[in-house]
Structure 1
Amino acid sequence: MVNQYPTQLTAKTRVRHYAADFRKLDELFPGKYPRMFVHGEGTDLIDSDGQRVLDAGNHLGVCVVGHGRGDIADAVAAQIRGLEFVSLEAGASHPYVAALGEELAGRVPVDNPIFSFTSSGSEANEVAMKVARDYHRRRGESGRFKIMSRYGSYHGSSYGATTATSIPAFREPFQPLVPGFVSLPQPFAGFCGSCSFGEDCVGHCIEETAAIIEQEGPHTIAAILAEPVSIPGAVKVPHNDYWPRLRELCDRYGILLIADEVVTGFGRTGTLFACEHWGVRPDILTMAKGLTSGYVPMGAAAVSGRVQEAFEGSPLVHVNTYAGHPVASIAALTTLKIIDEEGLVANAAAREPELRLRLEEIGAQVPWPARASVIGLLGSLEISLPDDVDAERFRALLWHESYEQGVVVRVTRAAQIVSVFFYPPLVITSDRLQEGLDHLAAAVRRVTTTTLMDDGRVEVGPSAEIQASAELAHAASTR
C-alpha cells in the first residue's frame, strides 16, 4: 500500500505544524527548503522531487542496516498483527523482549548484564544515571550523587542528559539545570583546552580528571558518563591509552563507569561496540540508534551483574510505558540478525581507510586549516574559517551544495569552525562510498570557490570560477 499523505506542498505549509529551523537555507534559497524525503533504499534517500541522494548524515548514524528493508518491515508488520503492545508489568512479559535480552547479553562488553529498555538514547542515559546514584545509596553511600561528564560531549535532550551535555549552546537556554554535575577534560585537541594531542595528552587528561575528583571529593562521585568516541564538533577519537586508564581511575575511587554508546554502538566504529577497541568493560552501557536501525524507536541500558546485585529484591523505581515494546523488540532482533549475516561490522572496519584517505584529501583542497578524524564509518572534517568569512553562511551553503551534488551530510558550526560529518549506513559498498565522497569533494570546492569570490580576492567575471579554483589550489599547496 502506497502512503497517501501529500508530499508536494510549499515549504512554508510543510512546516507550519511542527518545529523546524531552516531559516538560513530559506534565506539563501527561497522556497526550496525543507526538502521532503518520501522514500529510502539501502544507502539512499529519495525526495519529493525525485532526487536521489546518498544518506551520509541525515539519519544521524541510526540506519546501520540501511533504508527500506523489506525483512524488517515484514517482521514488524507480522508482530503488529500478532501482538502490537503489552506492558512489562510485574508478573507479565512477552517472549520477544526476553529473546532480545538474551541476544544482547552475548554481545555487549558488560559482565553478566541486565537490560532496562527505553524509548530513546536520552532516556537510556537517564536510567544509567539513576542506577548509579541509587546503587551507591543502597550500599550506604548516599553522599555519592555527582555525575561527571566531559566537555564537548552530548548525552541527550532530557533534563539530566542535557545537564551532562557539556556544550553551552545546549545548556544555557534551560538554566538552572540539575545540580550535582561536574565537567571533565575531553581527550582531543581543541576540545580539551589544556594540551596538544601528543603522547602526553592522555596522561594530562587523566591527571586532570583525578585532580578534579580529589577536589570534588571521591566520596561524592557516583559515576563518570562518557562516550567512547564523542561526536559534537568532530569525531573525537581518543588516544589508545585513555579508556583503559579511565577504567583504572574509576576502580581506584569506587566510581561507576557509564559508556554512552548511543551513536557508536552496533558496528559504527568497526567493532560492535566502540569500547571493544580498547578492551574496556564499563559498569553500565547505554545504546539506542543502531539497536533497531531506526525502524522503531528503542534504547537500553545494560547494567553489570555486580551493580545489579544492589537491586535484588527491590528493582529500580523507573517506569516507562513503552519499555521493551514488542514491535521494537522484533525490529531489534531482526536488525541484529542482519548485522551478523551481512558482516556489517567488518564492512565498517574495511571502509575506514578509504573514508580517512578521502576526507584528508578533501581537507587538503581548502586554503584554511582542516582536520579529518575517522573511526570505522564515522568521519568528520573540521574546517577552521578566518574571521572575515561568514561561517553560518558557509555552513548552510555547504549543506545545500552537498545535497545538490548528490549526498546529504551533517554540517555543524561552532564559532568559526565548520564541521562536516560523514557516516553512511553500514551496508555501503566501496564504490558507493567513493561516489558520495566525490560529491562531497565537489561541494567543498564549489563553496570554497564561492567564498573566495565573495570576499573580493577573485574578480567576478566569465572566468571567475576558474580563477578562484586556481587560487584555491595554490593556497592549499602552500598551506
Structure 2
Amino acid sequence: MTPDTHADGELTRQLDRTHVFHSWSAQAGLDPFVIAGGLGSEVWDFDGQTFLDFASQLVNVNIGHGHPTVVAAIQEQAALLATVAPANGNLARGRAAQAIVAHAPAGMNKVFFTNGGADANENAIRLARLHTGRDKILSTYRSYHGNTGSAIVATGDWRRVPNEYARGHVHFFGPYLYRSEFWATSPEQETERALRHLERILQSEGPESVAAILLETVVGTAGVLVPPPGYLPGVRALADRYGIMLILDEVMAGFGRTGAWFAFDHFDVRPDLITFAKGVNSGYVPVGGVVLSDEIAATFDHRVFPGGLTYSGHPLAMASIVAALGAMESEGIVANAARIGTEVLAPGLAALADRHPLIGEVRGLGVFWALELVVDRGTREPVPAAVMGRLKGELMARHLLPFLAENRIHVVPPCVVTDDEVARALAIYDEALTVVEASL
C-alpha cells in the first residue's frame, strides 16, 4: 500500500467536483467514493482504509487489481511501441486475437477490436446487417448493451428512452421466472413460453427483415438473469429457421465471470458473433471487440467493411489482453471462479436467504450473483430505493464496496477472490441486512 495522505483525498474530491462530469448522474449532489489504489480483491482510500471490492468496479476487474503480470506487460509494451495505426500489423494485436479465439467455438477465427463493450455491440450490429442485408435488431427489455447510438437503443432498460435515435430496433421479453411475463411456474414453462413469445415477435415483424437477435448470455446489470435450460438453444434454433444472426453479448459475462471462459459454454450454444470487453483484460486499458464466425468474416474478403476506430487494437490494450489471459490460464483463475461459485458463494448466499426475509431470490453462476430484495416474499414487491440507500451505507461502513441495482445486491467479486474474502463479505452482508431489517 502506498503512503497516500488525507490531503490527497481532499484534493481528489475537490478536483472531481470542480472538473469531472459523471455518467448517468445528476451532478449537484454527487459525493463519489475516492479510491487511491487496489490489489487483488481490495481497494483503499487515501486514509489507508481498505475495502473489499465486491463490485469489481463495473463487474470488470476479473483478474483483480494490480496484477503484476498485466502491469508489467503494459509497461514493456509502452516502452517498445505505445501506439500504432489500425491499418498496420502489430505482433501484440495478433497475439491478443489468437489468445481470444483459442477460447471461442470452432469456426470463429477473426477478431475486430474496439475501444469497449458499447462499440463492440455497435459493430456486431453493423456486421450482422451488412452480412444479411437486413435491418432490424431484436433484443430484450431487460438488457444493457452500451451507451452509443445503436447499442443504447438495443438496450432495454430506462437508459434507452431518452436516447432513441437509431433505427430498426425491436424489443421482447426474455425469461425471468421469478417475475415471469408468461405466467410460468417452472423453468420448462418459462423456456417454452418465452420462445413462443419471441417467435411471434419475429413473425409479426417479418423475419425476412430481421438481421440479428442480440442477447446478453447472462443478463448482467438488469438482474444477473441466468437463462433457464433450453432457452438459448431454442433461440439458436429460431435464428437458424429464419436466417437470422445470433449475437451473444459477453461483455460482462465473459472471461471467467460465470466460471467459464465464455458464459455460453454453460448452455450448449454457438453464436454467429461474440462481443466482449471488461473481463478480457480486467479493464486495465480500455478495449473491446467482436469475434466473427468464419462465414461472416468471409463476407468481407472482397468487400470493404465500412467501419473502424483510430485505437482499434491499441498495443497497450493488446499487451494487457495477452498477459491477462495468459495469467488466467496459468493461475487457474477461471477454475477458481467456478469453484468459488459452487462451493462458497452458492451455499453462503442461500444461508443468507434463510436468515433474511428481505431476500426474495438468490441466483447466479461463478462470481456473478444477485440477491433480489423484496418487502414481502409472498407478493414479491421490490424494496424501495430508500432501503437500498440505507443498505449501501451499512455495507460501505463495514468496508465493503457493493454493486447495487434497483432492488438487488449484485455479488460480483473478482475471479481471484479467496474463500476467506468471501467469508468476510458474507458476514458483512449479514450484518448490514440485519441492521436494515431491524429498522423497517
Quote how far apart the aligned CAs of 1:49 are.
Answer: 2.2
Counterpart code for 1:19: F
Higher deviation after alignment, 378-387 or 153-162: 378-387
- Conserved? CA contact 2:245–2:272, under 8 Å: yes
- Conserved? CA contact 1:151–1:186, under 8 Å: yes
2:353 counterpart of 1:363: yes
Q: 2:358, 2:105 → 1: CA distance?
A: 41
Q: How does 1:461-472 map to 2 (within 5 A)?
A: none
2:362 counterpart of 1:372: yes
Quote how far apart the aligned CAs of 1:292 are.
Answer: 1.0
Q: 1:380 to 1:110 in 2, by over 3 A?
A: farther
Quote how far apart the aligned CAs of 1:323 are.
Answer: 0.2
Deviations 1:193-238 (A, max 9, x none): 2233512110111111111111111110000000111023421011
- Conserved? CA contact 2:62–2:414, under 8 Å: yes
- The residue number in structure 1 matching 2:337 is 348
- The residue number in structure 2 matching 1:72 is 70
Q: How does 1:9-408 map to 2 (within 5 A)?
A: 9=11, 11=13, 14-20=16-22, 33-89=31-87, 92-109=88-105, 111-137=107-133, 144-167=134-157, 169-175=158-164, 177-190=165-178, 192-196=180-184, 198=186, 199-353=188-342, 354-368=344-358, 370-385=360-375, 391-408=384-401
Counterpart secondary structure, 2:19? coil
Quote how far apart the aligned CAs of 1:78 are.
Answer: 1.2
Q: 2:159, 2:276 → 1: CA distance?
A: 21
Higher deviation after alignment, 200-209 or 355-364: 355-364
Q: 2:306, 2:77 → 1: CA distance?
A: 29
Q: 1:191 to 1:180 in 2, by over 3 A?
A: farther
Quote how far apart the aligned CAs of 1:363 are.
Answer: 2.7
Q: 1:13, 1:131 → 2: CA distance?
A: 41
Deviations 1:28-53 (A, max 9, x none): xxx9x422100101110101222111
Runs of 4 or more off by more than 3 Å in structure 1? 1-6, 9-14, 20-24, 364-369, 386-390
Counterpart secondary structure, 1:339? helix
- Conserved? CA contact 1:118–1:324, under 8 Å: yes
Q: 1:94 to 1:50 in 2, by over 3 A?
A: same
- Conserved? CA contact 1:145–1:222, under 8 Å: yes
Counterpart code for 2:364: V
Q: 1:22, 1:161 → 2: CA distance?
A: 16
- Conserved? CA contact 1:110–1:283, under 8 Å: no
Name which one, 1 or 2, has greater alpha-carbon Rg.
1
Counterpart code for 1:131: L
TM-score normalised by structure 2 residue count: 0.93
- Conserved? CA contact 2:56–2:62, under 8 Å: no
Q: 1:249 to 1:2 in 2, by over 3 A?
A: same
Q: Which runs of 5+ in 2 are unaligned?
A: none
Q: 2:14, 2:218 → 1: CA distance?
A: 37
Deviations 1:99-148 (A, max 9, x none): 111121211136232110000000000000000001112xxxxxx21000
Q: 2:42, 2:271 → 1: CA distance?
A: 35
Q: 2:23, 2:317 → 1: CA distance?
A: 29
Quote how far apart the aligned CAs of 1:192 are.
Answer: 4.6
- The residue number in structure 2 matching 1:467 is none
- Conserved? CA contact 2:4–2:48, under 8 Å: no
Counterpart secondary structure, 1:359? helix
Counterpart code for 1:394: V
Q: Which runs of 5+ in 1 are unaligned?
A: 138-143, 453-479
- Conserved? CA contact 1:149–1:165, under 8 Å: yes
- The residue number in structure 2 matching 1:429 is 418
Deviations 1:325-369 (A, max 9, x none): 001000000000111011111111111132122222223333346
Quote how far apart the aligned CAs of 1:6 are.
Answer: 3.2
Counterpart secondary structure, 1:37? coil
Counterpart secondary structure, 2:9? coil
- The residue number in structure 2 matching 1:455 is none
Counterpart secondary structure, 1:248? helix
TM-score normalised by structure 1 residue count: 0.85
- Conserved? CA contact 1:263–1:289, under 8 Å: yes
Q: 1:329 to 1:389 in 2, by over 3 A?
A: closer
Quote how far apart the aligned CAs of 1:284 are.
Answer: 0.2
- Conserved? CA contact 2:117–2:288, under 8 Å: yes
- Conserved? CA contact 1:150–1:226, under 8 Å: yes
Quote how far apart the aligned CAs of 1:9 are.
Answer: 3.6
Q: 1:247 to 1:23 in 2, by over 3 A?
A: closer
- Conserved? CA contact 1:110–1:281, under 8 Å: no
Q: 1:155, 1:444 → 2: CA distance?
A: 31
Q: 2:314, 2:306 → 1: CA distance?
A: 19
Counterpart secondary structure, 1:352? helix
Counterpart code for 2:75: A
Q: 1:145 to 1:261 in 2, by over 3 A?
A: same
Counterpart code for 1:59: Q
Counterpart code for 1:241: G
Counterpart secondary structure, 2:341? helix
